Amino acid sequence: MAKIWLITGVSSGFGRSLAEAAVKAGDTVVGTLRKPSQIEEFKRLHPGKTFGILMDVNDARQVADGVESVLEQFGRIDVLVNNAGYGLFGAVEEASLQETREQMETNFFGALALTQAVLPAMRKAKRGHIVQISSIAGFTGTPGLGLYNASKHALEGMSEALAQEVAPLGIKVLIVEPGPYRTKWAKGGAKDAAKKIDDYAASAHATINMIHGYEGNQPGDPDKGAQLIVDVVNSPNPPLRLPLGKIAIDRMRAKIKSLESEITLWEKRSVATAFES
């Protein structure tokens, strides 16, 4: 049966590529957009298969009304993709509390609001798939991206617990962790912290400059990545996590290896902290 997808942030990047891949698979996509002028353009993308709705994921009323409108029109939401988000560039000390709260509001609370909004219908249907577009930055820390790391780590922690809560209800969760893809995220989808501290030139600033420098030359093809996500959603036994691209896989394995080494090094001392029987 053809699926009904609700994808946040379909104006460009992974959101747009996912919409195209889902339609190619024979499904229908409702995409969220932040500008009224974008809605008709998205509707014309594949008439009868792509529908746009106005939604800022930070606006609780728009989230509730948007989900309700999709359910009224189509009767169900088979796949929710929490894709809308942005990156905050800056050392941890440089990021203001306001900048950090705005980062968390979009990347975590926005995704949480959509997740909570679709779950009642998915529970009633006893099926559904929630796809969280995280990042390898949601699994590993990167200098210059500490607060972006924090927002994606929060998303992943919530999603791990959610996957266990909804599994008995027939609902699945997929955490997608892309490495660098050519989605214009580093420029159009990122903000710089206003404060700059020279002492971080060799660490946080160097990493940020590197990320800005390879804009347009990232190895990942978002169309191919999107097609894999659709294939995973349609697979009979989808994973909880999908690291996307060789760089993401290599960084994930490096962290796992480092964790194992640290655990082993201090294991005896750690175990010895228990009460003696």
Q: Are 15 and 42 in contact (CB under 8 A)?
A: no
Q: To the nearest whole percent, how much of the chain has pLDDT over 90?
A: 90
Predicted local confidence at residue 93, as pLDDT = 98
52-94 tens-digit pLDDT: 999 999 999 999 999 999 999 999 999 999 999 999 999 999 9
Phi and psi (nearest 5°) for 96? -75, 160
Q: Which residues are identified as catalytic?
A: 134, 148, 152
Predicted local confidence at residue 186, as pLDDT = 64
Question: Does the pTM of the predicted model rise above 0.85?
Answer: yes
| Angle between helical axes of 111-125 and 146-166 (0-180°, round to 10) | 10
Specify the DSSP class assigned to residue 240: S
User: At CA 7, angle to CA 5 and CA 9, rounded to 5?
Assistant: 160
CATH level 2 (architecture), domain 4-246: 3-Layer(aba) Sandwich (3.40)
Residue corresponding to tokens 């659709």:
230
Q: In the predicted model, is pLDDT for residue 212 greater than 90?
A: no
121-158 tens-digit pLDDT: 999 999 999 999 999 999 999 999 999 999 999 999 99
Summarize the confidence of residues 190-207 as an average pLDDT: 96
Q: In the predicted model, is pLDDT for residue 277 greater than 90?
A: no
Predicted local confidence at residue 155, as pLDDT = 98
Tokens of 171: 């609902």
Phi and psi (nearest 5°) for 37? -65, -20
- Residue ranges per domain, the chain? 4-246
Q: In the predicted model, is pLDDT for residue 100 greater than 70?
A: yes
Predicted local confidence at residue 46, as pLDDT = 97
User: At CA 91, angle to CA 90 and CA 97, rounded to 5?
Assistant: 80
Q: Are 66 and 8 in contact (CB under 8 A)?
A: no
Mean pLDDT, rounded, of the chain:
95
Beta strands in the chain (DSSP E): 4-8, 28-33, 50-54, 79-82, 87-89, 128-133, 171-178, 190-192, 241-244
> What is the four-CA torsion angle of 152, 65, 38, 113, rounded to 10 degrees?
0
Q: In the predicted model, is pLDDT for residue 215 greater than 80?
A: no
Residue corresponding to tokens 């509001």:
105
Summarize the confidence of residues 89-117 as an average pLDDT: 98
